[in-house]
Amino acid sequence: MTSQAGLRRDSNGGPIRRLVQELRGRNCAHLVVAVSALLFAFFPGPGCAADVSDLQERSVLIQLFGPWKFHVGDDRRFADPEFADSDWQTLSLRPEEGAHDGDVGLSGYVAGWSSQGHAGYVGVAWYRIEIDLTGMNTRQLAFLGPPMVDGNYAIFVNGHLAGASADIDSDVPRARSVRPKLFAIEPDWLTLGPRLVVAIRVWTPALAMDDSGESGGIHIAPALGTRDTLNYLYRYQWQQTVLGFVVDAIEPACLVALLCAAILIGLRRAWTPALAWLSTALLATALLRANNAIYAWWDFESLEVYEFLRTTVLGPLALVAWAVTWWNAGRPKWGKAALGLLGIFAVAGGFVVYLRESATADHWLLGIIATLGTLARLGLGATILVSIALAALRSTRRADRMIAGALVLVVLFAEELSALGIPGIWFPWGIGVSRTQFALAALICALSAMLLREADARGSIAS
């Protein structure tokens, strides 16, 4: 068995150099080809949208833009097809030409109930619509749920529960990511002749609301048709959902690869504090970013858990780890206790932000703690800036580390940069790619170059 000392004595670079040579070779090209093929396989393209338009013209698929009847408040009688809703508010889910949401790029987006006279409303509301099935094939009739809802929903067809995006009937309901879902409509539900009454009960929690003035309720219209015809739209919506978060799956994988490289370098040489904190920062950032895709693609994580991890655990941990990494790289002999204190306040502030956003608790003391948490975040960001400056003063060959440090700040301070009016997202090919994702891609490249150089040179990452 090869010992750690043997790894260090290997004058030819040992497994590290061989690994680098492999990655520089055709295996890297194979990886690029495989990733490109995967992206093109999921890319929706214009063909699917054209298929949907053709199906609508042939009256075998109906996108339910409205007019809908809408009412805030909750009463299970609202699911009854004979319930009188004539005095309810009328609203439309018909999007403007080319409309999409401002995050992922999902097409067909409309503003929620905050823009319909119910700003800030949190809780349950109902949407109802009556459809005339005359001339439509009612065999294997199905319903495609709305793929974008703030919170969760349950669908009733002629008074029967067809399905739901999550359980919203429990004593303590938990919001989950809404994804495209198909629901069968049983033949024995069609007892009203050509009439079909659809009622959608929507629950929007406080965590799902934001300051855009467009949050609350349904954002993309559902659809009705046979299961075979709805599959076109269903696949298209899933393609958009996958592509919208595929970068949040690829970049964490790259960060984990960098983590493995850092560990190998530590095994080959000395395991320095900078390498240990760099590994922690890479792991925390990978988990933070990957959690976006996990929440969007699967339903085992609730919105409450997602926000708790983001604001209280992974977000502060990543920030503290990056700050200590650059502090160790700058080699100052002071300030480590202050970093620990800033980290504690950052965690406490993140937890208070979570409590206030979820409307779990609100008190003037919590406001003070939240402010201290914000100041702690800014202090940790300033620590990275100071560390970059100290490293630059020690050597004129620190341009790569200065760039990497600046990119770390862009990745970790997305909300602050957006508050300054700096554009935060772009839509190449109709899919949202954020400023954070661009910065993280550049950071991965910068760190890769630094680690490759460390693998071929003497010294440590902090030298």
CATH code, 89: 2.60.120.260
Looking at the fold, whether 325 and 416 belong to one and the same domain comes out as yes
∠ CA(131), CA(137), CA(142), 5° rounding?
65
Last residue in a domain, options 179, 211, 236? 236
Contacts of 418 (CB under 8 A, 6+ apart): 424
Q: H or E element: which one contains 419?
A: helix 414-419
- On whether residue 352 sits in a domain, the answer given is yes
Report pLDDT for 330.
Answer: 61
Report pLDDT for 288.
Answer: 97
Report the mean per-residue pLDDT for the chain: 82
What values do phi and psi take at 103, rounded to 5?
A: -120, -65
Compute the average pLDDT of residues 237-250: 92
User: What is the domain count for the chain?
Assistant: 2
- On whether residue 10 sits in a domain, the answer given is no
What is the Cβ-side half-sphere exposure of residue 33, based on CA atoms within 13 angstroms?
Answer: 5
Give the long-range contacts of residues 381-385, CB within 8 A, separation 24 or more. 381/319, 381/323, 381/409, 381/412, 381/413, 383/323, 383/326, 383/327, 383/335, 383/339, 383/342, 384/322, 384/323, 384/326, 384/408, 384/409, 385/409
Which one-letter amino acid corresponds to residue 92? S
- On whether residue 341 sits in a domain, the answer given is yes
Looking at the fold, whether 280 and 194 belong to one and the same domain comes out as no
Looking at the fold, whether 211 and 114 belong to one and the same domain comes out as yes
- On whether residue 462 sits in a domain, the answer given is no
Q: Which domain holds residue 282?
A: 269-456
Reported as a pLDDT band with limits 50, 70 and 90, residue 89 is very high
Report pLDDT for 130.
Answer: 95
CA dist., res. 201 & res. 76, Å (int)? 9
- On whether residue 263 sits in a domain, the answer given is no
Looking at the fold, whether 203 and 289 belong to one and the same domain comes out as no
Looking at the fold, whether 216 and 275 belong to one and the same domain comes out as no
pTM metric for this prediction: 0.83
Looking at the fold, whether 275 and 378 belong to one and the same domain comes out as yes
Evaluate if residue 55 carries a pLDDT over 50.
no
The pLDDT tens digits for 402-453 are 888 899 999 999 999 998 999 999 998 788 999 999 999 999 999 988 888 7
Looking at the fold, whether 232 and 280 belong to one and the same domain comes out as no
Compute the average pLDDT of residues 170-188: 87
- On whether residue 442 sits in a domain, the answer given is yes
Provide the percentage of residues in the chain whose pLDDT is more than 70.
80
28-32, 254-258, 274-278, 391-395: range with highest mean pLDDT: 254-258
Report pLDDT for 379.
Answer: 87
Which of 85-94, 212-221, 354-363, 447-456 shows the lowest mean pLDDT across its residues?
Answer: 354-363
Reported as a pLDDT band with limits 50, 70 and 90, residue 4 is very low
Looking at the fold, whether 232 and 273 belong to one and the same domain comes out as no
